[in-house]
């Protein structure tokens, strides 16, 4: 399970694990495949409602893959501690062993990456302004003593 704010490198890291054989489950890519581009093909405020069924489907696929003995990487921010705890339990109940990998990136670097990413139009390039990033920080529970592995 990957933890990190927008632009922290979760997808890049997840793709590396996918290349090594893990099943990669990406919430952003699935929302894009079903709905198009955030803020262009549907209004920004609809994202949570469009994300919800995707998260439910990917949770189901995660459990199925674990039960089938597959390695899985969840490409999803897991910003809230309660959410991380729920996924840990889900993985354990399915017979798996979880790893929490926290991609910790300082704010200046996140802003730099987001300026570049905001020029793209793919599923992993939801436009993020500095004000939005501030809001993300306010909603992010930084992992602390949760069994996380930190990558700076």
Q: Mind listing the pLDDT tens digit for each residue in 2-28? A: 999 988 999 999 999 999 999 999 998
pLDDT of 111 over the 70 cut: yes
pLDDT of 39 over the 90 cut: no
Tell me which residue range forms the domain holding 73.
2-151
CATH code of the domain containing 25: 3.40.50.300
pLDDT at residue 124 in the model: 65
pLDDT of 88 over the 70 cut: yes
Mapping DSSP onto H, E and C, the string for 119-149 reads: CCCCCCCCCCCHHHHHHHHHHCCCCCCCCEE
Alpha helices in 20-93 (DSSP H): 27-35, 47-67, 81-93
Number of domains comprising the chain: 1
Please name the residue that has the structure tokens 């939005």: 132
Yes or no: say if 64 and 54 are a contact pair by the CB < 8 Å rule: no
5, HSE (Cβ side, Cα atoms, 13 Å): 24
The residue-averaged pLDDT of 47-67 equals: 97
Backbone angles phi, psi at 112, to 5 degrees: -60, -50
Q: Between residues 116 and 118, which one has the greater pLDDT?
A: 116
Instruction: Enumerate long-range contacts of 32-37, CB under 8 Å, 24 or more apart.
Output: 32/122, 32/123, 33/123, 37/121
């Amino acid at each position: 399970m990957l933890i990190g704010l927008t632009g922290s490198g979760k997808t890049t890291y997840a793709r590396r694990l996918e290349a090594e054989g893990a099943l990669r489950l990406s919430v952003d890519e699935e929302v894009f495949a079903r709905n198009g581009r955030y803020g262009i093909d549907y209004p920004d405020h609809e994202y949570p409602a469009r994300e919800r069924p995707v998260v439910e489907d990917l949770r189901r696929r995660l459990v199925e893959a674990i039960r089938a003995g597959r390695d899985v990487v969840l490409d999803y921010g897991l910003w809230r501690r309660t959410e991380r705890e729920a996924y840990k339990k889900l993985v354990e109940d399915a017979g798996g062993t979880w790893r929490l990998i926290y991609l910790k990136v300082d704010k200046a670097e996140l802003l730099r990456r987001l300026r570049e990413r905001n020029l793209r139009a793919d599923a992993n390039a939801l436009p993020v302004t500095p004000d939005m990033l501030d809001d993300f920080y306010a909603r992010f529970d930084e992992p602390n003593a949760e069994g996380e592995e930190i990558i700076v």
